[in-house]
């Protein structure tokens, strides 16, 4: 659910070229528009700086733009239609001075082709973790989700703001570690799913929706609290019609995939077993990410079965089988972690008759028969995967290539 945004990226580039930072002295800056900022972009900047001048005492005012650390919206200036009137509002994130630890959000609106600041909110934070938008009220407007960072890797302060009639108000707040905004419990609006690492041993996932102007918790469940931070998330509908939400979490010793299932009444985390040391069923060493390996819209997570060599391993790709309530092997593969790819076995019985070797100097993985007769090899040449077929290979070159997939690592 990507939102259309416009980023004033040139502003950051210009600031870096003019001294390596985003601090600006308004006694100079209000007289000059940086090269490349024209039209609407320059008007927004001028209106923002005008606000800063009017709130000061007439002396020099400087500010430092603040860029969100993660997420889809990484600019300090973000345009988004918040109230559903087909006219975009602008959000600016900044520090009041280079020495200040307090990050602000300034809200600007355009009335009769003139930009003006209508609100300024102090986040009480040292940074901005992320910015998201979502129609959580089901009326076509977009709430603003701001993750105000206070220096912790495990959690941030979530504040949800609603913009109406040229005014912005805070309507919800919570500590959180990962935020998912998606239509989970119903289709007419988006819900809020919060993953919160409360301590090294305790974590929780909470599903929240709105009723009118009020927020209501639908369900909550325990999750693995030994995660340091979450990376990728993914949501899909399984064969039973339940919503599955996957979240990769980095631990001190490796990576897990936490699975959350909403069945219409209850949120559960079926892979998490507190008495068995957390989410051990999806644990793997390293940072190999979950992946939809067969492109069917359902997610798989990797589990290392065996290490053939230091850079090549046998990896099973697991899927949650909703019908039986257990994880099952979707497919298996040779994974070359050094070069970032996997070769999926075309059939479950395939590995019984093959062995694999790897030469790091040439970045070449060779798959051979049990008697060491080479069948095919995969090499990385100028970041491209190159296949060399051998005469004794029972597969054709198209099948071999179709079984290759690129991997993602944190």
* pLDDT reported for residue 342: 95
Angle at 138 between CA 77 and CA 141, to 5 degrees: 25
Q: Are 325 and 309 in contact (CB under 8 A)?
A: no
Residues 234-272, buried b or exposed e (16+ Cβ, 10 A)?
Answer: bbeebeeeebbbbbbbbbeeebbbbbbbbeeeebbbbbb
Q: Which of 187, 227, 178 is nearest to 206 (CA)?
A: 178
Return all residues near 163 (Cβ < 8 A) that are at least 6 apart: 82, 83, 89, 107, 141, 144
Residue 375 has pLDDT above 90, yes or no: yes
Q: What is the pLDDT of residues 336-354, one digit of tens each?
A: 988 999 999 887 667 667 8
Higher pLDDT, 28 or 326: 326
Q: Which of 17-31, 126-140, 149-163, 318-332 has the lowest mean pLDDT?
A: 17-31
Q: What is the pLDDT of residues 217-254, one digit of tens each?
A: 999 999 999 999 999 999 999 999 999 999 999 999 99
Q: Are 25 and 16 in contact (CB under 8 A)?
A: no
CA 179 to chain centroid: 9
Calculate the alpha carbon distances from 360 to 287, 308, 310, 376, 386 in Å: 20, 14, 10, 17, 15
pTM: 0.85
Determine the average pLDDT of the residues in 110-133. 94
Residue 21 has pLDDT above 60, yes or no: no
* pLDDT reported for residue 201: 81
Confidence of residue 40 (pLDDT cuts 50, 70, 90): confident
Q: Which region holds residue 262: left if phi is over 0, alpha if psi is between -120 and 50, else beta?
A: beta
Q: Are 8 and 76 in contact (CB under 8 A)?
A: yes
Distance CA 405, CA 402 (A): 8
* pLDDT reported for residue 349: 61
Determine the average pLDDT of the residues in 56-81. 84
Distance CA 238, CA 298 (A): 7
Q: What is the pLDDT of residues 133-187, one digit of tens each?
A: 999 999 999 999 999 999 888 999 999 999 999 999 999 999 999 999 999 998 8
Question: Mapping DSSP to helix (H, G, I), strand (E, B) and coil, where does residue 404 land?
Answer: strand
Calculate the alpha carbon distances from 385 to 81, 160, 256, 401 in Å: 43, 45, 28, 9
Return all residues near 177 (Cβ < 8 A) that are at least 6 apart: 154, 155, 156, 194, 195, 196, 197, 203, 227, 229, 230
Residue 316 has pLDDT above 70, yes or no: yes
Determine the average pLDDT of the residues in 202-207. 95
* pLDDT reported for residue 352: 67
Burial status of residue 95 (CB atoms within 10 A of its CB: 0-12, 13-18, 19 or more): buried
Question: What's the chain's average pLDDT?
Answer: 86
Residue 20 has pLDDT above 80, yes or no: no
Confidence of residue 311 (pLDDT cuts 50, 70, 90): confident
Residue 374 has pLDDT above 90, yes or no: yes
Burial status of residue 367 (CB atoms within 10 A of its CB: 0-12, 13-18, 19 or more): buried
Determine the average pLDDT of the residues in 266-284. 90
Residue 39 has pLDDT above 70, yes or no: no
* pLDDT reported for residue 346: 83
Q: Are 408 and 335 in contact (CB under 8 A)?
A: no
Q: What is the pLDDT of residues 86-103, one digit of tens each?
A: 999 999 999 987 677 889
Determine the average pLDDT of the residues in 266-287. 90
* pLDDT reported for residue 200: 80
* pLDDT reported for residue 277: 73
Residue 28 has pLDDT above 60, yes or no: no
Distance CA 123, CA 352 (A): 59
* pLDDT reported for residue 59: 56
Extended strands (E) in 198-353: 202-211, 214-224, 229-237, 243-250, 255-262, 267-268, 301-307, 312-321, 326-336, 341-344
């Amino acid at each position: 659910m990507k939102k259309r945004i416009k980023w004033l990226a040139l502003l950051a580039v210009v600031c870096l070229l003019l001294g390596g930072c985003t601090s600006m002295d308004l006694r100079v800056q209000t007289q000059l528009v940086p090269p490349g900022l024209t039209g609407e972009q320059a008007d927004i900047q001028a209106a923002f700086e005008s606000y800063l001048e009017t709130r000061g005492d007439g002396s020099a005012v400087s500010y430092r733009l603040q860029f969100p650390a993660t997420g889809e919206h990484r600019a300090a200036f973000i345009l988004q239609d918040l109230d559903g009137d087909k006219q975009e509002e602008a959000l600016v994130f900044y520090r009041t001075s280079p020495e200040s630890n307090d990050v602000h959000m300034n809200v600007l609106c355009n009335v009769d082709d003139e930009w003006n600041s209508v609100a300024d909110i102090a986040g009480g934070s040292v940074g901005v973790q992320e910015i998201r938008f979502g129609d959580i009220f089901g009326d076509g407007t977009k709430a603003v989700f701001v993750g105000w960072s206070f220096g912790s890797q495990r959690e941030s302060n979530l504040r949800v703001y609603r913009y109406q009639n040229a005014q912005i108000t805070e309507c919800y707040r919570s500590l959180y570690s990962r935020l998912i905004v998606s239509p989970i419990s119903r289709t007419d609006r988006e819900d809020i799913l919060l993953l919160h690492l409360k301590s090294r041993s305790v974590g929780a996932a909470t599903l929240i929706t709105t009723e009118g102007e009020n927020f209501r918790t639908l369900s909550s469940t325990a999750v693995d609290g030994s995660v340091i931070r979450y990376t990728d998330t993914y949501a899909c509908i399984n064969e039973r019609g339940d919503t599955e939400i996957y979240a990769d979490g980095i631990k001190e010793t490796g990576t897990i995939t936490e699975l959350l299932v909403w069945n219409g009444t209850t949120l559960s985390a079926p892979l998490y077993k507190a008495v068995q040391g957390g989410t051990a069923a999806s644990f793997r060493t390293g940072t190999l990410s979950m992946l939809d390996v067969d492109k069917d819209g359902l997610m798989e997570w990797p589990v290392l079965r065996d290490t053939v060599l230091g850079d090549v391993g046998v990896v099973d790709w697991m899927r949650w089988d909703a019908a039986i309530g257990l994880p099952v092997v979707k497919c298996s593969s040779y994974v070359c972690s050094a070069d970032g790819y996997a070769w999926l076995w075309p059939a479950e019985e395939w590995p019984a008759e093959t062995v694999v070797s790897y030469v790091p100097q040439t970045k070449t993985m060779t798959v051979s028969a049990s008697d060491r007769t080479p069948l095919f090899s995969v090499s990385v040449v100028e970041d491209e995967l190159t296949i060399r077929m051998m005469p004794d290979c029972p597969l054709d070159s198209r099948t071999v290539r179709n079984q290759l997939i690129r991997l993602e690592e944190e």
